Structure 1
Amino acid sequence: MASDEHDERDFFGELPLPPIKRTTAPEKPHYLGHRDRQRERFSATGGDTLPDYELLELLLFRLIPRSDTKPVAKALLARFGTLAEVLGAPTNLLQEVKGIGPSVALDLKIIAASARRMARGEISGREVLSSWPQLLDYCRAAMAFEAREHFRILFLDKKNVLIADEVQQSGTVDHTPVYPREVIKRALELSATALILVHNHPSGDPTPSRADIDMTKTIMDTAKPLGISVHDHIIIGKKGIASMKGLLLI
């Protein structure tokens, strides 16, 4: 009787073992290796050697962490032209590019604002006329890619050090109303002794118009009796920068 009976140990011992399921680690997205290589290139050579789309990719790595950002970077540049124009584009237009939502568009504008602040730091507290290239870089970063005209005034003290930088008026795509009395009033409030006028041409062509020249001369004539000089009127466009003084227009 004992030999014919099997306990549960024999029973389970004779059952075949279930197959062992081997799990494989999921493959890493292809773009992760690309990101590592891009970072290594930047670390080794710096950003100056990278084309716009690769530098834009590096920015987008942090803003869009779980997607391939190369197509997004190329789409942005195809739409706007250059990295500077991408950063200067309005948020509503940035969001028209596939892959760019409100958060990423806002982050790009924060980066643009940081770049402008950095450029402004190059001229703050310095004698502006001796830092002219830095001044032009700042004005271009601040205004070249605006969709509307803005009239900006740089107020200087008697040593030509920047006191204040203010956008006095904003207008349409091709016109900004400027009131010479308001310009001089603000200069007197700040105790400024010199001005640099700046405005942008959204069309891209920085060539001064007849109205630009006449308005500048009116401001100069109003300022001169009060001991306030107008050093220059700079016009910023996507295609370049024009200095009225350099063109012998004032």
Structure 2
Amino acid sequence: MGKASDEDERSFFSEVPVRPAPKARPAPAEKPGYLGHRDRLRERFASAGPDALPDYELLELLLFRLIPRADTKPAAKALLARFGTLAEVLGAPVNLLQEVKGIGPAVAFDLKVVAATAQRMAHGEVHGREVLSSWTQLLAYCRSAMAFEAREQFRILFLDKKNALIADEVQQTGTVDHTPVYPREVVKRALELSATAIILVHNHPTRLILITHNHALAH
């Protein structure tokens, strides 16, 4: 009887699995400080609207998507310090954008996609309306399209008899300081489009010149 009891006891203990000691749970990693800032900025945009945010914060919101794991405030402020306004940041060429710290090729490319989208939207807002009724809108559109072009352009906005935009075309592209203009080609194109008025736009490195059928405006 004693022998059987010993065997039963050995059998029992041999079948009991050895459980490892529970590992201590690692302390939760602290979230980077910029994540809380991003949440607060999104909440302000959602509750108060875009007018409640200065340009650098709107640019920060945009950069959130383009730079997901970093503080984007320094890059946003650096872009505005370099180029001046939000429109000019989006209008800047890729090579100049990449000269700003924190802006690599991928981010510069994505900013140009955003710029193209904004330009298309601005064009849609102007198209079919009385262009001359809003010089501020017209200047903003032309500035976003041309302000940081590396070469001079001669651009023409063709209008109908109601001053509504028929077409917006780059008629000539020149060098860094010279753009040829051929009045015969301008008139020919205006006749082809049945335009009754035109706005001529010519860019310079530091300014934008607009000449209309009966106005001249430098900005």
TM-score class, shorter-chain normalisation, is: 0.7 to 0.9
Counterpart of 2:24 in structure 1 is 21
Tell me if 1:231 matches 2:204. Answer: no
> Secondary structure, in 3 states, of the residue corresponding to 2:76?
helix
Deviation at 1:200, TM superposition (A): 1.6
Counterpart of 1:143 in structure 2 is 146
Which of 13, 21, 33 is the equivalent residue of 1:30?
A: 33
Structure 1 spans left out of the alignment, 5+ residues: 217-228, 236-240, 242-250
Query: How high is the sequence identity, in percent, across the aligned residues?
Result: 72
Greater shift, 59-68 or 18-27, is seen at: 18-27
Whichever residue aligns with residue 65 of structure 2, its letter is R
Tell me if 1:189 matches 2:172. Answer: no
> Secondary structure, in 3 states, of the residue corresponding to 2:115?
helix
Provide TM-score, normalisation by structure 1. Answer: 0.74
Counterpart of 2:157 in structure 1 is 154
Q: Quick check: 1:198–1:234 contact (8 Å CA) kept in 2?
A: no
Counterpart of 2:119 in structure 1 is 116
Could you tell me how far apart the structure 2 residues matched to 1:173 and 1:17 are? 74
Deviation at 1:69, TM superposition (A): 1.6
Deviation at 1:67, TM superposition (A): 2.2
Provide TM-score, normalisation by structure 2. Answer: 0.83
Counterpart of 1:71 in structure 2 is 74
Whichever residue aligns with residue 231 of structure 1, its letter is N
Could you tell me how far apart the structure 1 residues matched to 2:79 and 2:48 are? 24
Could you tell me how far apart the structure 1 residues matched to 2:115 and 2:187 are? 31
Structure 2 spans left out of the alignment, 5+ residues: none
Q: What do the CA deviations read for 1:31-77 (whole angstroms, capped 9, x no partner)?
A: 21111001011112222222222111100011112222222222323
Counterpart of 1:85 in structure 2 is 88
Counterpart of 1:128 in structure 2 is 131
Computed over aligned residues only, the root mean square deviation of the Cα atoms, in angstroms, reads: 2.8
Tell me if 1:56 matches 2:59. Answer: yes
Could you tell me how far apart the structure 2 residues matched to 1:73 and 1:9 are? 70
Q: Quick check: 1:153–1:198 contact (8 Å CA) kept in 2?
A: yes
Whichever residue aligns with residue 191 of structure 1, its letter is S
Could you tell me how far apart the structure 1 residues matched to 2:78 and 2:115 are? 18
Counterpart of 2:178 in structure 1 is 175
Q: Quick check: 1:155–1:196 contact (8 Å CA) kept in 2?
A: yes
Could you tell me how far apart the structure 2 residues matched to 1:131 and 1:157 are? 16
Q: What do the CA deviations read for 1:86-120 (whole angstroms, capped 9, x no partner)?
A: 11111122123333222221111111122222222
Could you tell me how far apart the structure 2 residues matched to 1:173 and 1:111 are? 26
Deviation at 1:10, TM superposition (A): 4.1
Q: What do the CA deviations read for 1:128-177 (whole angstroms, capped 9, x no partner)?
A: 23344332332222223333321111111222221111111122333221
Q: Equivalent residues in 2 for 1:181-220 (5 A)?
A: 181-204=184-207
Q: Equivalent residues in 2 for 1:5-20 (5 A)?
A: 7=10, 9-10=12-13, 18-20=21-23
Could you tell me how far apart the structure 1 residues matched to 2:128 and 2:13 are? 91
Q: Quick check: 2:88–2:144 contact (8 Å CA) kept in 1?
A: no
Greater shift, 70-79 or 193-202, is seen at: 70-79
